[in-house]
């Protein structure tokens, strides 16, 4: 009987994982067929599949979204990290985010990274550091301002973006953290959407909400086990970079100021409490921040751009960035001439 129950649980988890994977991939593909999804309709050009590190892997690629009408100024940069529970999706499924920011005048670098369980923690975070280093080196050649970088991502990407921002601000001893800190980047803003900001202890969601459905409970445990393995503690001090929320809740003092943060989540999202904790941690640290909770919205609702709350979320994002990003600097004349 025990073996049958275990087999049934395994089948339930596999079926649930396949359903969620196929849903997000299918939604991204269907959305891309809509006439409004064409970048050229919005005056946006897309440079696809640029390698940010050697190795020839498809995960080592990024796409660049930029407005064609750039005028005589460097564009603020959005470094976007996709979600998908650290185990699915890519930059190609997250074209909406690249297009949305570029339409508002941002130069967007939308990255892919290695996925778990084949490439567990910290592989994906290592790729994010490599991609950010590439962006710092190359942003100006695309018309961007490497001094005005916004780091953003949703779900697992919110975790990675928060960890990456923390590594840029906290001086730590881990080689990966040192490499990020030594880039000398001070992000101008952090945008973690609907983040799973602590990967370890997925059981906390069920403790907080005992009636959490088996479907969502399975997905959360699946994220933890795929990304960290069955024994998260074996990562030692490095675990703080998989749990950036816990780092922010600690007494650790950053060497560089943490950037303004705009965190969003729907109230029907099982991950809601992580954003609430993030807001409390930032308030305790006196970090400029805004946490927005959208009534009744599910996980990653901001990608469903036809929904009123999704449109409001994007409008709130643009307002926040307009308030916290400094004015652009003039672009180099040779770039303007080359792109005219």
Dihedral angle computed from the Cα positions of residues 44, 47, 52 and 53, in that order, rounded to the nearest 10 degrees = 160
pLDDT recorded at residue 206: 87
pLDDT recorded at residue 215: 81
The sign of the dihedral angle between the CA atoms of 199, 94, 175, 263 is negative
Which domains, and CATH codes, for the chain? 2-339 (3.40.50.1820)
Write down the H helix ranges in 123-195.
123-138, 156-169, 175-181
Residues 6+ positions from 93 with CB-CB distance below 8 Å:
24, 25, 28, 82, 84
pLDDT category at 14 given cuts 50, 70, 90 is low
Does residue 30 register a pLDDT over 80? no
pLDDT recorded at residue 33: 59
Give residue-wise pLDDT tens across range 130-183: 999 999 999 999 999 999 999 999 999 999 999 999 999 999 999 999 999 999
Give residue-wise pLDDT tens across range 113-134: 999 999 999 999 999 999 999 9
Does residue 330 register a pLDDT over 60? no
Beta carbons of 140 and 74 less than 8 angstroms apart: yes
Beta carbons of 326 and 146 less than 8 angstroms apart: no
Residues 6+ positions from 204 with CB-CB distance below 8 Å:
198, 273
pLDDT category at 291 given cuts 50, 70, 90 is very high
Taking every pair of Cα atoms in the chain, the longest distance, rounded to a whole number of angstroms, is: 74
Choice between 213 and 228, residue whose per-residue pLDDT is larger: 228
Choice between 231 and 208, residue whose per-residue pLDDT is larger: 231
Does residue 9 register a pLDDT over 70? no
Give residue-wise pLDDT tens across range 297-315: 999 999 999 999 999 999 9
pLDDT category at 336 given cuts 50, 70, 90 is very low
Q: What is the mean pLDDT of the chain?
A: 89
Give the bridge partners for 289, in sequence order. 261
The sign of the dihedral angle between the CA atoms of 273, 214, 198, 231 is positive
Kindly report the pTM of this predicted structure: 0.90
Token digits of residue 104: 């508002």
Q: Rounded to the nearest 10 degrees, what angle do helices 214-228 and 2-32 cross at?
A: 90
Give residue-wise pLDDT tens across range 234-288: 999 999 999 999 999 999 999 999 999 999 999 999 999 999 999 999 999 999 9
pLDDT category at 99 given cuts 50, 70, 90 is very high
Q: Report the Cα 87 to chain-centroid distance in Å.
A: 14
User: What is the distance between the alpha carbons of residues 317 and 296, in angstroms, rounded to a whole number?
Assistant: 19
Give the angle subtended at the CA of 129 by the CAs of 200 and 302, to the nearest 5°. 65
What is each CA distance from 324 to 104, 185, 191, 288, in whole angstroms? 15, 17, 12, 9
Task: Tell me the mean pLDDT in the region 14-32.
Answer: 61
């Amino acid at each position: 009987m025990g073996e049958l129950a275990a087999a049934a649980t395994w089948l339930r988890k596999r079926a649930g994982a396949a359903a969620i994977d196929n849903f997000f991939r299918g939604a991204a593909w269907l959305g891309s067929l809509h006439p409004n999804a064409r970048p050229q309709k919005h005056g946006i050009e897309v440079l696809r599949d640029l390698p940010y590190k050697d190795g020839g892997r498809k995960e080592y690629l990024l796409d660049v979204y930029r407005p064609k009408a750039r005028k005589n100024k460097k564009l603020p940069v959005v470094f976007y990290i996709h979600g998908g529970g650290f185990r699915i999706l890519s930059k190609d499924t997250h074209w909406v985010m690249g297009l949305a920011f570029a339409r508002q005048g941002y130069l967007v670098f939308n990255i892919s990274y290695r996925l778990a369980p084949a490439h567990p923690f910290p592989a994906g975070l290592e790729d994010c550091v490599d991609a950010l280093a590439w962006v710092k080196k190359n942003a100006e050649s695309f018309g961007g301002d490497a001094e005005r970088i916004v780091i953003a991502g949703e779900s697992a990407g919110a975790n990675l973006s928060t960890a990456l921002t923390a590594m840029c601000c906290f001086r730590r001893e881990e080689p990966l953290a040192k490499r990020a800190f030594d880039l000398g980047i001070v992000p101008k803003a952090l945008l973690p959407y609907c983040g799973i900001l602590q990967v370890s202890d997925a059981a906390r969601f069920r403790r907080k909400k005992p009636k959490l459905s088996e479907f969502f409970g399975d997905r959360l445990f699946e994220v933890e086990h795929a990304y960290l393995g069955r024994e998260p503690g074996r990562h030692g001090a490095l675990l703080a970079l998989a749990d950036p929320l816990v780092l922010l809740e600690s007494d650790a003092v950053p060497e560089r100021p943490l950037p303004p943060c705009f965190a969003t989540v729907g109230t029907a999202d099982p991950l809601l409490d992580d954003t609430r904790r993030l807001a409390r941690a930032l308030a305790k640290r006196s970090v400029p921040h805004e946490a927005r909770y959208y009534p009744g919205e599910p996980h990653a609702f901001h990608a469903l751009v036809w929904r009123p709350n999704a449109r409001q979320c994007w409008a709130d994002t643009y307002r926040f960035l307009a308030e916290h990003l400094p004015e652009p600097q003039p672009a180099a004349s040779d770039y303007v001439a080359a792109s005219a």
